[in-house]
C-alpha cells in the first residue's frame, strides 16, 4: 500500500493480511480522491478539513488525507492489531500530531464526546457489517457535521443498504467487488 499524492507521496504504509481487515485498494482510493477533487457535485476540499475515518483499519484513507493537507484526522478502529499497525504507520510517517487514534467499538457516546465538527466522513466497515447504519445515524443525531460535508462509504457492490431518511446519496461508483457511495446528511 502506498500514499498516492501530497507531501508523503510514494511512501509505503504497513497493512495486515488477515480476515478481519480488508485494505482499501490503491486504485479505488485514487478514484475517490479524483472524484473529491474534480467532481462538480462535491464542493469539499481535503485541505484544512477535519476528517472522521471510521472502521479505519491501518489508516490508508486518513493518511492520504493528511498527505493532501487535511487539518486533523480522527481514526476509529476497534481491532487491536489493525489499530497497532495504524499507530505504527502514524509514527513512521511522523504525522501523529495531526491525528487522534481511538481503539474501541463505535457507540453513540463516542460521537457525542467528540465535541468537534467534520467536513469528511469515511466509513469502511466490514462488508458483512450492517451496524454501520446505526453509527451513521448516531453521527447524524450528534450533529458533528459542518453544513458543507461529504460522507464516503465503501461497501460491497452487491450490498443493498437502506439509507432512507438518513442520507442523501449523491453518487455511487462501482469498482469490481467494491462500490463507493458519496452522500450528505439530509
Number of domains, the chain: 1
Q: What is the CATH number of the domain that holds 162?
A: 3.40.50.150
Judge whether 172 lies within some domain: yes
Judge whether 27 lies within some domain: no
Could you give the CA distance from residue 148 to residue 145 in angstroms, rounded to a whole number? Answer: 8
Residue 3 in contact with residue 63, Cβ under 8 Å? yes
Judge whether 28 lies within some domain: no
Would strands 99-102 and 145-156 be described as parallel, antiparallel, or unpaired? unpaired
For residues 125-163, b (16+ Cβ closer than 10 Å) or e, as one string?
bbeeeeebbebbbbbbebebbeeebbbbbbbeeeeebee
The alpha-helical segments, DSSP class H, found in the chain are 26-38, 60-67, 80-92, 108-113, 132-142
Higher-confidence residue: 20 or 92? Answer: 92
Judge whether 68 lies within some domain: yes
Range of the domain at 161: 41-185
Judge whether 13 lies within some domain: no
Higher-confidence residue: 114 or 54? Answer: 54
Asked if pLDDT for residue 86 goes beyond 70, the answer is yes
Residue 33 in contact with residue 4, Cβ under 8 Å? yes
Judge whether 30 lies within some domain: no
Query: Tell me, what's the pLDDT at 100?
Result: 92
Tell me the range of 48-52, 104-108, 156-160 where mean pLDDT is highest: 48-52
Amino acid at each position: 500500500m502506498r500514499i498516492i499524492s501530497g507531501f508523503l507521496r510514494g511512501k509505503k504504509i504497513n497493512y495486515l493480511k488477515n480476515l478481519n481487515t480488508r485494505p482499501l485498494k490503491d486504485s479505488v482510493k485514487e478514484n475517490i480522491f479524483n472524484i473529491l477533487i474534480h467532481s462538480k457535485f462535491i464542493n469539499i476540499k481535503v485541505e484544512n478539513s477535519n476528517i472522521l475515518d471510521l472502521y479505519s483499519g491501518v489508516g490508508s484513507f486518513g493518511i492520504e488525507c493528511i498527505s493532501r493537507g487535511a487539518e486533523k484526522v480522527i481514526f476509529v478502529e476497534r481491532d487491536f492489531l489493525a489499530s497497532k499497525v495504524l499507530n505504527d504507520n502514524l509514527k513512521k510517517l511522523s504525522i501523529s500530531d495531526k491525528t487522534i487514534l481511538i481503539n474501541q467499538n463505535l457507540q453513540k457516546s463516542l460521537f457525542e464526546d467528540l465535541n468537534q465538527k467534520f467536513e469528511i466522513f469515511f466509513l469502511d466497515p466490514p462488508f458483512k457489517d450492517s451496524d454501520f447504519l446505526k453509527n451513521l445515524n448516531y453521527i447524524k443525531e450528534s450533529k458533528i457535521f459542518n453544513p458543507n460535508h461529504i460522507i464516503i462509504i465503501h461497501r460491497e457492490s452487491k450490498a443493498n443498504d437502506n439509507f432512507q431518511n438518513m442520507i442523501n446519496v449523491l453518487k455511487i461508483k462501482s469498482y469490481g467487488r467494491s462500490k463507493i457511495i458519496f452522500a450528505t446528511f439530509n
